[in-house]
Structure 1
Amino acid sequence: MELAALLISFVFLLLLGTSVAAAMILSAFLSLLLNKMPLTVMGELMLSGINSYTLLAVPFFIFAAVIMNRGGLTDRLLDVAAAFVGHFRGGTAQIDVLASVFFAGMSGSATADAASQGRILIPHMIKEGYDPGFAAGVNSSSATIGAIIPPSITMVIYGGVTNISVGALFLGGVVPGLLIGLALMVMVAILATRRGYPRRAYMPWKERWKPIVVALPALLAPVIILGGIFSGVTTPTEAGVVACLYGLILGFFVYGELKLKDIGPLLVETVEATAVPVYIIAASSVFGFALTMSGFGMLVQEWLMGFITGPTSFLLVVVTIFMLVGLAVEGVAAMLIFVPLFMPMVQTFHVDELQFAIIVIITLLLGTISPPVGLQLFIAADIAKISAFKVDIWPFIWIMLLVVIAIVFLPGLVTWLPGVIM
């Protein structure tokens, strides 16, 4: 009865339009009442859920992303991308994808990528004759690379709640992130050729060095941030602080686009952006406890064990479930709710934890660009001034899903680089 009340109330609250975090808290509150447990447990669980040194990296990386957007780093990265892929068919869309690969090495935020590049490139694409739905689809899908190529805020959260090495997660995301970038560029080329989208003027090689030299300090940011982590000089949290300081130095003294008066608005934007994931983490702690008390985890495991025969079929089921969950539940919340339920089965089927983590993260990121709740999708659609349901997103989702399937059958795509470096 308690499990039914928990799940029914959670779904009912979501259908009413309640935020995922509020729905988790209220449904867990009802479950605890039915179990006659002291409600003080809720406060204790929510505080313990966010009381993590690793999770301190989240606000720092968010602040770094905000600084880099406002400090001129994004513009310089776009110039470098334009120099190398602007002359391809669908050049401006190709710039969007390649710049996302560059920006991912600094911010770790898919949302920051979608908002910063989208405001610049989506209007450009529409002006050049691209369909608004295509422009929004390219931008929202390429933004997911920001949470796959390190540093990644999503990976920091995953590592913080599962005790998996954040450094290993970062390394595990490098090859899949680059593969997704390549896959998206291939899809852009196919669609742009079919639809006759324009290309930019060819830039001679001798002229390409200028944007690289100008952007070199920005391009060095990932080297400094990730080099500190993998060399053991800094923890991921300390690397977040380094990213903030480096971004401020570039914004104030190198590119000169930041002023002292900008610090206040930057901090406000950071606090607002940080509040959402932290609120979800706290809420998922109490909701996860309620699920455990109601026996939901055991029921799911018994049901899955009935037809899963090995590690490959297990991972394919994981991809299917997280794809469906991502359509209805915000990515971080879905990760925090369901990953603990699957971890015992990861060990049972001898699945590599890094492989499982990257598969889950990428699959849930597909939910952030899928209707009806995809955040990046709505950001891009709003910039393009169209309905989220009119965004041409599915070709990009399918090509990204192919990369996920490749990781299922080829775990070395995830485990090779961590094995070499760590």
Structure 2
Amino acid sequence: MDFIILVSAFIALLMLGTSVASAMILSATLSLLLADMPLRVVADRLLAGLNSYTLLAVPFFIFAAVAMNRGGLTRRLLDVARVFVGRFPGGTAQVNILASIFFAGMSGSATADAASQGRILIPHMKKEGYDPGFAAGITAAASTIGAIIPPSITMIIYGSITNISIGKLFLAGIGPGLLIGIALMAMTWRLSVRRGYPVSAPVPWRDRLRPVVVALPALLAPALILGSIFTGVTTPTEAGVVACIYALLLGFFVYRDLGIRDVVPLLEEAVVATAVPLYIIAAGAVFGFALTVTGFGFQVRDALGALTDSAHLFLLIAIASFLVIGFFIEGTAALLIFVPVFTPIAQSYGIEPLLFAVVTCIVVLIGTITPPVGLQLFITADIAKVSVFQVEVLPSVGIILAVVAAIIAFPSIVTFLPSLL
């Protein structure tokens, strides 16, 4: 009965237009009060949800992403990508994907990737004759790579929930992230040939060196950030500070796109961008506690135990569940609510924790590019001036799910690099 009240109140609040985070807090508060829990528990869980050293990395990496965008790093990475893949079929779309791979190694934010590259590339793609829906769709899909290849804010949040090593999660995301990028480029090649999308003029080899040299400090950022983590010099949180300092140094002294007057706007943008995920994280802690009180996790475990004893069938059920959840609930909230429920069950089936973690993060990210609540979808659709239902994301979703299937079939894609630690 408590579970029905909790879920009914949550759905009703969403239908009334309440934000996901506020709906989680209000429905959880109602459920806990009806269960005779003191109201103080809500405040305690809100604070406990944020009282994590690991989560300190989130605002640092968000600030680093903002500083990189404003400091000119994104533009120079695009120049390098254009030199090497611009001549392929669908050249600018290929640049979009490759630049997302570059940017992923610095920011860890799919949202920052979609917003920064979308503002530059989507208008350019439209002028070149790309369908606006395709331009928005490939930008949104490519942005998910930013939350898979390390550093990854999504994986930091997952690690804070499950206490899995953030360093191992980061290493586990490299193979799948690169595989998604390659698969999206192959899909783009095929669609571009079929639709006659333009090809950029080849850049002579003698002219390729200059963009690479100019962008070299930016290209070194992933090596600096990830190297400091994997060598044990810094924790992931401290690496976030390193990323901030490095982005500012490049913006102020190397590329000189930043000045003293940019400091306050940088801080303002970073604070606003940080407030949303942290609010959702705090709200998710309250809602997750309310779910625990209702016994929802035990009910799901018992139901799945009665349904199947196959680990692969459980994985299919979990993937399908997270896909459906992603249609209605923002990605961070979905992780906070359902990962504590599904992770112990996955362990009981003997599923490798890193494999389940990466599969879950990827499937949850699919929800960020699908209607009706996908954040990256809304960002790119707004830039392309099209409805979210006109954005062409289904081919990319199919490609990403194919990569998920490959990961399940060949777990070493995920586990090989972490096994080296």
Answer whether TM exceeds 0.5 for this pair.
Answer: yes
The structural deviation recorded for 1:303 is 1.4
1:236 alignment counterpart: 236
Alignment coverage as a number of residue pairs: 421
Matches within 5 A, 1:13-412: 13-412=13-412
Q: Give the aligned residue type for 1:117.
A: Q
Q: For 1:169 and 1:394, locate their aligned partners in 2 and report how far apart those are by CA, in whole Å.
A: 27
Query: Deviation string for 1:171-209 (max 9, x for gaps)?
Result: 000000000000100111111111000000011222211
Q: CA RMSD in A?
A: 0.7
- Equivalent position amino acid for 1:63 in 2: F
1:391 deviation in Å?
0.5
CA contact (8 A) 1:312 1:409 kept: no
Rounded Cα–Cα distance in structure 1 between residues aligned with 2:343 and 2:323: 18
Shift of 1:135: 0.3
Distance 2:334 2:342 in 1: 12
Structure 1 counterpart of 2:152, one-letter code: S
Quote how far apart the aligned CAs of 1:311 are: 1.7
The superposition leaves residues 208-232 of structure 1 with CA deviations (integer Å, 9 ceiling, x where unpaired) of 1111111000000000000000000
* Bigger shift: residues 173-182 or 270-279: 270-279
How far the C-alpha of 1:306 sits from its partner, in A, is 2.0
- Rounded to whole Å, the distance in 1 between the matches of 2:172 and 2:274 is 25
Distance 1:15 1:405 in 2: 34
Alignment-mate amino acid for residue 261 of structure 2: K
Q: Percent of aligned pairs with the same residue?
A: 64
Report how far residue 126 of structure 1 moved: 0.3
Q: Which moved more, 1:44-53 or 1:305-314?
A: 305-314
Residue type of the alignment partner of 2:296: F
Q: Provide the residue aligned with 1:8 in structure 2.
A: 8
Question: Within 2, Cα distance between the matches of 1:340 and 1:192?
Answer: 42
Offset at residue 62 of structure 1 (A): 0.2
Q: Which moved more, 1:29-38 or 1:69-78?
A: 29-38
Could you list the runs of 4 or more consecutive aligned residues of structure 1 that deviate by over 4 angstroms after TM superposition? Answer: none
Inter-partner Cα distance in structure 2 for 1:17 and 1:308:
38
How far apart, CA to CA, are the structure 2 residues paired with 1:317 and 1:293? 24
Which structure 2 residue ranges, 5 or more long, are not aligned? none
Post-superposition offset of 1:351: 0.6
Distance 1:344 1:175 in 2: 25
State the alpha-carbon separation in 1 of the partners of residues 135 and 236 from structure 2: 34
| Cα deviation, residue 308, structure 1 | 2.4
Whole-angstrom distance in 2 between the partners of 1:383 and 1:281: 27
Cα distance in 2 for residues equivalent to 1:282 and 1:409: 36
CA distance in 2, matches of 1:251, 1:51: 32
* Deviations 1:290-347, CA, capped at 9 Å, x for gaps: 1111111111111112222222111111111101100110001001100100122122
Counterpart amino acid of residue 45 in structure 1: R
TM-score between both structures, scaled by the size of structure 2: 0.99
Distance 2:345 2:405 in 1: 19
Deviations 1:8-59 (A, max 9, x none): 1111111222111111111111111111111001101110111000100000
The 2-side partners of 1:300 and 1:190 are apart by: 42
- Give 3-state SS (helix, strand or coil) of 1:327's partner: helix
Unaligned runs of 5+ in 1: none
In structure 1, give the amino acid aligned to 2:309.
Answer: T
Cα contact 1:316–1:408 (8 A) shared by 2: no
Cα distance between partner residues in 2 of 1:142 and 1:37: 44
Q: Is the 8 A contact 1:71 1:251 kept in 2?
A: yes
- Amino acid in structure 1 at the alignment position of 2:75: D
Q: Which amino acid aligns with 1:330?
A: E
Q: Distance in 2 between matches of 1:329 and 1:306?
A: 27
Equivalent residue letter for 1:413: I
Distance 1:322 1:278 in 2: 21
The letter for the 2-side match of 1:8 is S
Separation in structure 1 between the aligned mates of residue 135 and residue 193 of structure 2, nearest angstrom:
15
Any idea what SS the aligned residue of 1:150 has? Answer: coil
CA distance in 2, matches of 1:138, 1:205: 28
Return the alpha-carbon distance in structure 1 between the equivalents of residues 35 and 63 of structure 2: 41
Between 1:125-134 and 1:297-306, the stretch displaced more is 297-306
- Give the conservation status (yes or no) of the 8 Å contact 1:82–1:95: yes
SS of residue in 2 equivalent to 1:372: coil
**How far, CA to CA, are the matches of 1:39 and 1:406 in structure 2?**
47
d(CA) in 1 for partners of 2:14, 2:304: 25
Q: In 2, Cα distance between the equivalents of 1:209 and 1:98?
A: 18
Indicate the residue corresponding to 1:413 in structure 2: 413
Q: How far apart, in 2, do the equivalents of 1:269 and 1:161 lie?
A: 26
CA distance in 2, matches of 1:350, 1:314: 11
Distance in structure 2 (CA, Å) of the matches to 1:380 and 1:156: 25
* SS class of match (2:164): coil
State the TM-score, normalized to the length of structure 1: 0.99
